[in-house]
Structure 1
């Protein structure tokens, strides 16, 4: 199967390829085989499909390395919440009422939303742990969405032995390098103690799993320093948030090559403190960006980039628009262990690509593609999405998706959970954590 994208503005995110004001991309069997100003397609019988990319930017799809898609049914309800209010609402109030079918509906709609807005690769940080059936429902939803997904299983229930068995069980179902793979969501030393972290990291190493760890947003925990003291810092771990960690601890992450995921909208709104984007760069860590959760923030990477960009520019005048594109493509792909497969328009990589409209009135005329994407981009520009060379969104519409049925399913899930939890859906729900 050969597909030719022709006549687009190529923003490759690969210095060796560069950017092309007018370029073509040839895909064969899901892999990019050539990128050039013009690719001779006169032998038309060998090209199965030609996609006209005129008035389009052709670039790698976005990579979101930290999102909790099980919460999709409660989109927007936490716009005014602090972190303690979110924790009370989502984990203590609604999560106990989630059934496997609710996890499936939220995960599927959340993953499709991400695809719709140009996120070709997404790490789904699963922490609605209750039963094996809940986990299996999340995996099934990711498989039913035609994106590249990483199921990051957070070990949040059961004994140490049962966690071990559970991780092994899911790993046996996701063993290879297909579109849905697996990562291990660590609980961390604050929740479980250093011995448990060591045991979980040993298991991750044995199974060949990358790990992800939320770091205390308040900065009161010496997580990074403690991990280093115990020899537990890994290149294969992505640290999430980490707003309060010291510059010295950021340098510790740089020393081992660990990754850092910044969720600027959630962190600023929920009271985590300033995102560490600039401090991370100064310490030698390439930050990445993530949405986190949609009850509190928008689900697209355009708004995420814009927040991170504006905040850091306001703090120190640093960053350029190209930096933000790198954070959300090639840098994030590397953080997921997928830098050799995706994250740039590079011959030999899988064709995970998006085509953004440049004739839309909200961005026209596009003089500086990178600047336009970061300063004014939005999901409405996402015209076409390809994952491993397969077109999953065409002419602004997801391919083969029955959205009316899925919308009805998600609404029914939301209404049932809300009724069971005794919470209103009229915009007045505001959880009140007990004061210490």
Structure 2
């Protein structure tokens, strides 16, 4: 029988408490390190002291709780660890809805860092980054690995960093060393990174990290400079875009291994990795490095999903370009769960057999959204509810119309919950969302700043012609050519149902013309 006090922080009763919160009477999705699995505590309570989980209890009102504790009634609620997003570009928030039908090849020519950079100043970056992070917090995302490829100037880079600090979220700020920037040289970017690396950040919530995508396409001297920086400074996290398969861009684990950086102290997160081989997967396992699967993005843009489901033990989840879809990890976990199930079911039915067992569980999807993200960042104190872990927590209201009637809390969260069901979000023991509302005091002011910035950016964006994709991908002659997927229309007639993008009053292209032009280009 589980003891009344499941665990308590060593020395907790004798320690001086500066702040404490008791989440009382909820169903807690905890983690049992002995069995390496989820453990559900019903009608229990969770004590937070400062920034840590100090105790887990199997009763709603345990004894010995500090008299001045903030007691939060969590009856009929589900308490989970905060969700972890291991791949995002926060600065792109202002471009929301502008790329709803774009492919990855189009993205490179429209919304990527080199393409969109000229539209942004430091104010735009600050407003977009802060609004995007608060959007994520509202959705229960407490930790974000931000691949910050906004290295257009010292000012724009620092604006993104300051916005990350201001958000109160836990952010791994991975500034991207980028040789494509016309006015911000790689030596200057590295100089600034070293300057930022000397800073101390409030409450340790922002962790300076690194990103670099030029391993096979950048200038050799730049790559060598990045390798030296990694070996000398040993950043906590390095993140890299990597596709494989038909995509003629190679930033694979084996390539990084040849530079001597894969087996060091730095955690490396390869974003996407759909075309990985069995050899690459084994290399990830042997060096304990991870891929970040971004299900909705990869399906939206056409990255492909060839083999990434075969390396879940070295995988986590991410959102990627939230300009094109939702910002929450709940959606990503649900999509990936059903995408994986469907693919593996097809393998059985293609043999003319009937599936007898579901090959992926809701528990596995939950772990991908939480603990696996923490392991990818080499932070075992995140993404789990256990004594001593950071108090990054989400509380779901179990009596909303969509949640009403749940029995299995993991299934309720993964298959039934939505962002509107999230009542509280805590990061480092502090409420960033309480009673369904963000606690950021200047949110109204931020909304006005962000909308003014977004309107300006959209106007400049709409003045540009849409790209026309013909021939080979980025000059990859003989290796990668553009091809067309079959249109699937919902309205009879030629191209009538596809329709235009409704991109605002600044878009001077008529609906009929835009629809036909898009159809002809593709």
Taking structure 2 as the reference length, what is the TM-score of the superposition? 0.77
Distance 2:443 2:317 in 1: 28
Secondary structure of the corresponding residue to residue 257 of structure 2: helix
Partner of 1:102 in structure 2?
124
Partner of 2:217 in structure 1?
191
Partner of 1:144 in structure 2?
166
Contact 1:174 1:182 in 2 (8 A): no
Partner of 2:98 in structure 1?
77
Distance 2:373 2:231 in 1: 21
Secondary structure of the corresponding residue to residue 7 of structure 1: strand
Shift of 1:137: 0.6
Any idea what the Cα deviations from partners look like across 1:283-319, whole Å, max 9, x if unmatched?
A: xx42100000112221111111111111100011432
Partner of 2:188 in structure 1?
162
Partner of 1:247 in structure 2?
278
Contact 1:8 1:21 in 2 (8 A): yes
Shift of 1:212: 0.5
Partner of 1:225 in structure 2?
254
Distance 1:352 1:97 in 2: 35
Secondary structure of the corresponding residue to residue 128 of structure 1: coil
Report the aligned-residue RMSD.
Answer: 2.5
Instruction: Trace 1:337-376 onto structure 2 (pairs within 5 A).
Output: 337-339=378-380, 341-376=381-416
Indicate whether 1:215 and 2:242 are aligned. Answer: yes
Shift of 1:175: 6.6
Instruction: Trace 1:314-353 onto structure 2 (pairs within 5 A).
Output: 314-317=342-345, 318-339=359-380, 341-353=381-393
Shift of 1:41: 4.4
Query: Structure 1's 38 and 201: CA in aligned 2 closer, same or farther, altered over 3 A?
Result: farther
Shift of 1:238: 0.7
Secondary structure of the corresponding residue to residue 327 of structure 2: coil
Partner of 1:299 in structure 2?
327
Partner of 2:488 in structure 1?
none
Distance 1:327 1:165 in 2: 36
Distance 1:164 1:411 in 2: 32
Alignment coverage as a number of residue pairs: 431
Of the two structures, which has the highest relative contact order with CA contacts closer than 8 Å and spacing of 6 or more?
1
Distance 1:381 1:192 in 2: 45
With 21-30 and 40-49 compared, the bigger mean Cα shift is at 40-49
Partner of 2:471 in structure 1?
none
Any idea what the Cα deviations from partners look like across 1:267-292, whole Å, max 9, x if unmatched?
A: 111111116442213xxx42100000
Gaps of 5+ in 2: 1-18, 346-358, 465-502
Partner of residue 288 from structure 1, selected from 302, 308, 316? 316
Partner of residue 257 from structure 1, selected from 272, 288, 305? 288
Shift of 1:14: 3.4
Partner of residue 392 from structure 1, selected from 432, 448, 451? 432
Any idea what the Cα deviations from partners look like across 1:24-57, whole Å, max 9, x if unmatched?
A: 1111122111112026545566242001111111
Contact 2:154 2:189 in 1 (8 A): no
Shift of 1:163: 3.1
